[in-house]
Amino acid sequence: MYNIIVKKYGAPENLIYEKADEPKLGKKDIKIDVHYAGLNFADVLTIKGKYQERPRPPFSPGLEVSGVVREVGSLCSRFNINDNVMAIMKYGGFKDKVIVPEENTYKTPHGMSLRDAGAFPVAYGTAFSAIIDKGKIKKNETCLILGATGGVGIAAIQIAKAFGANVIACGGDDKKLETCILNGADFIINYKKSIIRTELKKIGIKEIDLVIDMIGGQACVDAVKVLAWNGRIIIVGFASGVIPEIPANRLLLKNAKADGLYWGEYAYRYPKKIEEDFLIMQKLYIEKKIKPSIDREFSLKDAAKALNYLIERKNLGKVILKCQS
């Protein structure tokens, strides 16, 4: 078995590709031959020791994988050998074989390739929980997505549109925002070049029912100021590096709600809810209403290059690792 190891916190260049002993299977675990592992910016923070989940070195990063079931624990009942699956974990996915609890493993929908499945769990799980579970979007409501050009952002656009919302995608790069239109966004706003409220007025929108925020900083503060009565803002991340000071008076005046979503922990605390969400998303995938947007694929041994590509913000969608040679 080969894996990527962090032996000390730091930059991607510190990652080591090495051979390792295969992990032992527990009674409630699934062993998976990993075909693809999805990359997330949380992986960058984890290897630097700056993420909420802070494993002690040595460890392998990686939050999501797809592959084929090779062995099932004696108390497992949902999976069989050779099933195509995807799985989530707090870390440990940058390997060609993994052991995952059965409750954090999901069958791939009919027709989904393992390549697409490797880009699916975290982005679509996060987006679904933010928009549906917490945001409770309704048909014809308006949804503003801050940080719409990344993997979670593209997933959020597709899911919001699948549930009948009007979607405004916000990002800081004009070229990347064009991708948002291709994925269903009704309008786009470059928050680095303009004020959100001003741009909304230009397209005839006065208020926003739901904001999904992955940026933080001033963009988040500006979005709170345009919330409608009973509006909601779901905080998913702080890609800008700045934690916003949300104006609580605006929430009060609009009877609005600000909520947070740390999806990795949420998924581990409520595995049954996540399983229900994935069943709904599998149906949406089969109906061709959602589909991962994959920007680039790297080999497992090139994980450092892949993470640097992510750090440089070059990606237009998900970046994945191919874990089988």
Does one domain contain both 111 and 129? no
Among 57, 90, 98, CA closest to 262: 90
Long-range contacts of 237-242 (CB under 8 A, 24+ apart): 237/41, 237/147, 237/152, 237/213, 238/214, 239/41, 239/147, 239/150, 239/214, 239/215, 240/215, 240/216, 241/216, 241/217, 242/216, 242/217, 242/218
pLDDT of res. 313? 83
Positive or negative, the CA dihedral 10, 12, 13, 14 is positive
Positive or negative, the CA dihedral 133, 139, 145, 151 is positive
Average pLDDT, the chain: 95
Residue 278, domain member (yes or no): no
pLDDT of res. 235? 97
Does one domain contain both 133 and 185? yes
Number of domains the chain is built from? 2
- Give the residue from 244, 264, 284 where a domain finishes: 264
Does one domain contain both 250 and 307? no
pLDDT of res. 241? 83
Does one domain contain both 196 and 96? no
Q: Is the pLDDT of residue 53 over 90?
A: no
**Share of residues in the chain with pLDDT > 70 (%):** 100
pTM over 0.85: yes
Phi (first) and psi of residue 280, to 5 degrees? -65, -45
Does one domain contain both 142 and 221? yes
The one-letter code for the residue type at 24 is K
Please state, in angstroms and rounded to a whole number, the distance separating the CA atoms of residues 92 and 97.
Answer: 10
Query: Residue 108 belongs to a domain with what CATH number?
Result: 3.90.180.10
Please state, in angstroms and rounded to a whole number, the distance separating the CA atoms of residues 103 and 101.
Answer: 5
pLDDT of res. 69? 98
Residue 69, domain extent: 2-120+292-322
Does one domain contain both 136 and 207? yes
pLDDT of res. 300? 97
pLDDT of res. 191? 93
- Give the residue from 264, 282, 312 where a domain finishes: 264
Residue 277, domain member (yes or no): no
